[in-house]
Amino acid sequence: MADAKVEPGLRARVRAFVDHPTFKNAILGIIVFNSIILGLETAPSVMAEAGGLLHVLDRAALAVFVVEIALRLFAYGLRYFREPWNVFDFVIVGIALAPSNEGLAVLRALRILRALRIVSAIPRMRRVVEGLLHAIPGLGAIAALLALIFYVFAVMTTNLFAATHGDLFGSIGESLFTLFQIMTLEGWVEIVRSVMEKFPWAWFLFIGFILVSTFTVLNLFIALIVDSMQSLGEEHEEKTLAEVTRHVDDDAAIVRTEIAALREEIRALHAVLADQARNQGAKPS
């Protein structure tokens, strides 16, 4: 019975410790510090001079991360895995603990992804990520439309220009790559001018592609993301307002309850005073 009482109390204290802002800020500071260390490990000159120290600091930071996860698992139990960022953190730490042989070197390099946890600590950055995730269904439809436009123009340019410009439009794959370069507006003038030497009317086709893909469809991505972030911002404001209203209603209910109790006490006091007055009036003079 004593152990059953001690464990919930201990869990509550550990939960309060890991959720304290000071502890969270300290962990984030270590994440930033460890990210810098991982970056320094890519410099051969730094590794030659302080490779041993960097390795020790990296191991120390990893030990802190393991202790942090262990504390959170103890504090929350299986509820720890309900938070997606916790699952991501758990996976990254598990990758960092993988043996450092050649086969798993790529996995160990993914430790730097742990720096993305900083996003969860900054509300505005977290809102941007939530907006991107919220816009994924709409982005998929726009991406499908863009892919269709690419395919149509790739087939057209391959049929028209493969014979004279095989290095640019010799196949569907080469045409898709060339069209992607044109869409980014990187060196598109040179490509179009080289085609126009054989086909003077080709500028009309490529300018139409640029207008449709670069200035229309790609801007739809930006518009959709902005709209998604605005919608999430409005939802966040509504939730905040509802929460504030709920707290106000709760406080008002508490005040009303206290006023009712105070009135009852006043009535009781009046009754006592009235009884005392009646008793005094009933006494013989």
pLDDT in tens, 55-103: 888 889 889 989 999 999 998 888 888 887 788 788 878 877 776 665 5
Q: What is the pLDDT of residue 129?
A: 77
The amino acid sitting at 110 is L
Q: What is the pLDDT of residue 71?
A: 92
- Mean pLDDT, rounded, of the chain: 82
pLDDT in tens, 115-149: 777 776 676 777 777 777 777 777 888 888 889 99
Tell me how far apart the alpha carbons of residues 223 and 245 are, in angstroms, rounded to a whole number.
33
pLDDT over 50 (residue 231): yes
CA–CA distances in Å: residue 236 to residues 6, 88, 124, 132, 137: 38, 24, 12, 15, 20
pLDDT over 70 (residue 164): yes
Predicted TM-score (pTM) above 0.95: no
CB atoms within 10 A of CB 225: 17
**Where do the domains of the chain lie, and which CATH numbers do they carry?**
2-121 (1.20.120.350), 123-285 (1.10.287.70)
